[in-house]
Amino acid sequence: MEVDREDGRSQNQLRPLACSRNNLHRAHGSASWSQGDTKVLAAVYGPKAGTKKNENPEKACIEVIWKPKTGQIGKLEKEYEMILKRTLQSICILTVNPNTTTSVIIQVANDDGALLPSAINAACMALVDAGIPTRHLAVSICCCVARSGLVVLDPTKLEEQKMKAFAYLVFPNSVHSVLPEGSPSGQGEPIQNGIITSVTHGIMSVDDYFYCLERGRAASTKLSDFLRKNLQQQSTDSSKAG
Amino acid sequence: MEGRISNAWRLTVNDKNFIKTALLSEIRIDGRKPFEYRKISIKFDRGDGSSEVQLGQTRVMGIVTAQLVQPYKDRPKEGTLSIFTEFSPMADPSFEPGRPGELAVELGRIIDRGLRESRAVDTESLCILAGKFVWAIRIDLHILDNGGNLVDAANIAALAALLTFRRPECSLGGEDGQEVIVHPPEIREPLPLTVHHLPIAITFGFFGNEGILLIDPTHNEEAVMGGRMTMTVNANGDICAIQKGGGEGVPQRVIMKCLQLATSKAASITKQIKDAVEAFTERALRKIKRHPTSTDVDVKEKQNQ
């Protein structure tokens, strides 16, 4: 059963990815990520002194500010901020800089489907650009279930609206071991099979959901490779001062 | 945590003195001459009224959207234009999220006066059905990077976005001709806005005792300068707005000199904006011509729905 996608992609094909680091001068770290027509800018300031009220001063605090393309900030933006904050909290090493706040600011340049995954990817690149200590990075993908039961990756906005259900999934990025092959990777296993965040919309069966996870994980290795290649290329550029 | 002194960015006394001393010999810290503008680059992502302007290190994104609304009771035949400025915390560590501060409000007002009160955008052509339906144009300006002189950059971003924005065509229909039908872009080509002239904002910085005058200050120079003035002029030599809010006093002849400078700069910036918009529109038209089949696919899509 073939699904007819408007832009001619197959089920498991992602849109063309493009990203760049270090775009802004004032921000400590910045990145821009685009998947097809969806484009998101992320900036990181930190660590700044002090934590916010009601936050644990023995750990670093992460603050997320989500700026939509147009219109006022509403509940949807607050929800995205909360999801992003919890996701980034689980990948950052919070005990390194206690009693500090790291601000992550997301600006939506264009929304054509899979907005939250693009934002998570952009935020991770910006964290690397700012030099915030993290355990590993996160790669995020959107999987959706069509009315026919097929699982489709990386939908555009029109496709998202027509789908029965969709899920935003965040996986840790793949481990690129410097140890020789065959060495015990006891610690690597749990990370590779983990899932950091999952947000679903609509109704889907349990089997569909597990199928989405499988597909998402397979795509996440490709995304991790893309991310790694991009970060390595740009790390040879001059560093920022001040 | 908000507004902690340790988190605020301040120039050291040494830096400030260095800038002031260099200016005495007409040298600016980024190597420009006193009346030289930084490099302006105008980019358009997609031709739907979004522009990104880079003025040196300052980066501003402008987005134009339109909505059909009821007009104001005292102006039933005119559309509306509103400007929203977002001083995103992305641009500067001292920008706080939430309610816009003084600077944001002032910037919004300067651009608003330049565009609306000089009638740069024709609001009468935005009227569809007098008293019932008019187009409300909304301009969102997102400040992405604060490298100084936000007003000028934001103004250029607003103008560039307005020039590439296309609103859907609509016609009157229904039984008594009182219903408005909005045609989707696939059926009828969307229309550009009528922009009569381009008001360009030019900002000057004044530095104290020696009467030093600068154009287009960077954020380092802004921290040192004693006063600022923004003049909004267009290429025809009309003054659209002048804003000098406090700061040190400046003699009359300096103001006249600034006006002459502003008019000449406005002409070159207007040309830059028009060239960028033309180059983009040409490329966009060529893309449409190269893929004549894309319209077919869209139409079939609609039929399937």
Give mean pLDDT in consecutive 10-residue pieces for chain B, a chain of 305 residues: 63 92 90 93 87 95 93 90 90 85 91 91 89 92 94 96 91 76 84 93 88 92 92 93 89 92 94 94 76 38 35
Flag if B57 and A25 touch (Cβ within 8 Å): yes
Q: Which residues of chain B does A50 touch, with a Cβ-Cβ cutoff of 8 Å?
A: 1, 4, 7
Range of the domain at B51: 2-304
Give the count of beta carbons closer than 10 Å to the beta carbon of residue B213.
18
| Cα separation, A100 vs A47, whole angstroms | 6
Interval A29-78: pLDDT, tens? 999 999 999 999 999 998 988 888 888 889 999 999 999 998 888 999 99
B71-76 contacts, C-beta under 8 A, 24 or more apart: B71/B127, B71/B130, B71/B131, B71/B132, B71/B133, B71/B134, B76/B130, B76/B131
Interval A165-213: pLDDT, tens? 999 999 998 777 666 555 454 444 445 568 999 999 999 999 999 999 9
Flag if A49 and B45 touch (Cβ within 8 Å): no
Please tell me which residue of chain B has the smallest CA distance to A42.
Answer: B90
CB proximity list for B242: less than 8 A, separation 6 or greater: B229, B230, B231, B232
Flag if A48 and B91 touch (Cβ within 8 Å): no
Q: Which of A8-12, A200-204, A232-236 has the highest mean pLDDT?
A: A200-204
Give the count of beta carbons closer than 10 Å to the beta carbon of residue B92.
20
* Chosen from A70, A99, A106, A157 to mutate, greatest number of chain B CBs within 10 A: A70
Q: Per the structure block, which two tokens stand in for B209?
A: 């005792």
Helix locations, B1-113, DSSP H? 13-24, 102-112
| Cα separation, A39 vs B210, whole angstroms | 48
Facing B90 at nearest CB: one of A27, A49, A52:
A27
Flag if B91 and A49 touch (Cβ within 8 Å): no
* Beta carbon pairs, A and B, within 8 Å: 71
Say whether residue B91 is in contact with chain A using an 8 A CB cutoff: yes
Say whether residue B89 is in contact with chain A using an 8 A CB cutoff: yes
Sign of CA dihedral A12, A16, A20, A24: negative
Q: What is the pTM of this model?
A: 0.88
Class of the domain covering A17-175+193-235: alpha beta
Facing A65 at nearest CB: one of B4, B97, B145:
B97
Interval A77-117: pLDDT, tens? 999 999 999 999 999 999 999 999 999 999 999 999 899 99
To which H or E segment does residue A127 belong?
Answer: helix A115-130
* Number of domains forming the structure of chain B: 1
Q: What is the CATH number of the domain that holds B213?
A: 3.30.230.70
Q: Which residues of chain A does B59 touch, with a Cβ-Cβ cutoff of 8 Å?
A: 23-24
Segments of A94-234 assigned E as strands: 100-110, 138-145, 151-153, 165-172, 197-202
| Cα separation, B160 vs B40, whole angstroms | 12
Domain locations in chain A as residue ranges:
17-175+193-235
Say whether residue B30 is in contact with chain A using an 8 A CB cutoff: no
- Cβ contact B151:B89 at 8 Å: no
Flag if B88 and A107 touch (Cβ within 8 Å): yes
Flag if B4 and A49 touch (Cβ within 8 Å): yes
What is the predicted pLDDT for the residue at B2? 52
CB proximity list for B197: less than 8 A, separation 6 or greater: B118, B120, B234, B235, B236, B238
Which of A176, A101, A183, A99 has its CA nearest to residue A137?
A176
Flag if B7 and A107 touch (Cβ within 8 Å): no
| Cα separation, B33 vs B44, whole angstroms | 29
- One-letter amino acid for residue B285 of the chain: L
What is the predicted pLDDT for the residue at A56? 87
Interval B36-84: pLDDT, tens? 999 999 999 877 889 999 999 999 999 999 999 999 889 889 999 999 9
Facing A101 at nearest CB: one of B1, B138, B140:
B1
